[in-house]
């Protein structure tokens, strides 16, 4: 990849994680690029209508062009059409949030959701953000299917989620993380409290391909005041049956079929 292409992608990724916008100086510092080089990249992206500038505040944000490309891709692959009814049913049963994310390589990215809460607190993390493996139910159950060597490599590569940025119970060492993974291996699903976000809970199980290899993860997430241990136990059966349904549905959508069969893709419904 050329240096210019890599820099453009870095700008797009940074703005995708900053819906409130970033100033030129903020982007320059974050990307460790000269102001002049950052300005040229932004000018090129603005010319192609991928980025806009708020002249009053001097902040740059993404336009809807890139999200629309992603939605067009997902629509053509049948992901949303096939998965959405499944997500809606589980969300209605649980009364909580259910999410769908495609994992490209070693990263989980949100692509669809279903909200079951009709009133009170609604748990709804931002679309497009990678899931931190060490402090999410989705990450823990995914890691549970891997060797200890791969667990160490994947978590070290991504880094632990700091409690100040996530929840106060977020693991910060392998000594605290590995027992959680062992419990998930034994139970067949993972649960978290106060880890991914303060006062939030989540539970997740795997979706397996025909060869029994894990290709997907299904998760329910919501506030601890509703999604407590007793409620989670009651939702284990719907969670498992929905995961099986998603596995069967993967044969209908070309993209989901690739996710369930190919070595470089997986699908996750995640928090």
Q: Which residues of the chain have pLDDT under 50?
A: 252-253, 260, 262-271
Note the pLDDT of residue 171: 97
Which CATH fold would you assign to the domain 70-268?
A: Beta-Lactamase (3.30.450)
Each residue's pLDDT tens digit, 91-132: 999 999 998 766 556 766 666 778 887 655 555 555 556 678
Note the pLDDT of residue 38: 94
> Which DSSP letter does residue 133 get?
G
Contact 111, 74 (CB under 8 A): yes
* Pair of tokens at residue 105: 């390589």
Q: Which residues on adjacent β-strands are paired with residue 219?
A: 204
> Which DSSP letter does residue 134 get?
G
Note the pLDDT of residue 81: 62
Note the pLDDT of residue 264: 44
| Dihedral sign for Cα atoms in the order 186, 100, 63, 66 | positive
What are the extents of the domains in the chain?
3-63, 70-268
Q: What is the Cα 194 distance to its own chain's centre? A: 17
Q: Give the H/E segment covering residue 206.
A: strand 200-208
Q: What is the Cα 104 distance to its own chain's centre? A: 11
* Pair of tokens at residue 64: 């809807």
> Which DSSP letter does residue 238 get?
H
Q: What is the Cα 10 distance to its own chain's centre? A: 19
Class level of CATH domain 3-63: mainly alpha
| Dihedral sign for Cα atoms in the order 156, 31, 25, 126 | negative
Each residue's pLDDT tens digit, 174-207: 999 999 999 999 999 999 999 999 999 999 998 7
């Amino acid at each position: 990849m050329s240096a210019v292409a890599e820099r453009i992608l870095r700008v797009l990724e940074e703005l995708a994680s900053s819906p409130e916008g970033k100033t030129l100086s903020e982007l320059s510092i974050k990307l460790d690029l000269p102001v002049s080089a950052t300005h040229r990249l932004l000018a090129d992206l603005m010319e192609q209508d991928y980025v806009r500038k708020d002249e009053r505040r001097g902040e740059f944000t993404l336009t809807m062009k890139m999200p629309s490309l992603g939605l067009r891709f997902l629509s053509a692959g049948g992901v949303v059409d096939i998965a959405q009814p499944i997500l809606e049913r589980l969300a209605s049963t649980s009364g909580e949030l259910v999410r769908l994310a495609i994992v490209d390589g070693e990263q989980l990215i949100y692509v669809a959701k279903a909200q079951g809460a009709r009133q009170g607190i609604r748990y709804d993390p931002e679309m497009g953000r990678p899931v931190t493996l060490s402090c999410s139910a989705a990450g823990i159950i995914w890691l549970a299917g891997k060797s200890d060597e791969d667990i160490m490599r994947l978590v070290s590569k991504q880094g632990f989620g700091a409690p100040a940025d996530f929840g106060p119970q977020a693991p910060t060492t392998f000594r605290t993380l590995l027992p959680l993974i062992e419990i998930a291996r034994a139970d067949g699903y993972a649960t978290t409290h106060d880890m991914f976000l303060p006062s939030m809970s989540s539970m997740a199980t795997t979706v397996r391909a025909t060869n029994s290899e894990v290709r997907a993860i299904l998760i329910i997430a919501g506030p601890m005041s509703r999604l407590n241990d007793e409620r989670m136990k009651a939702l284990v059966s719907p969670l498992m049956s929905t995961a099986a349904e998603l596995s069967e549905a993967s044969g209908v959508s070309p993209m989901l079929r690739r996710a369930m069969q190919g070595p470089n893709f997986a699908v996750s419904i995640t928090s």
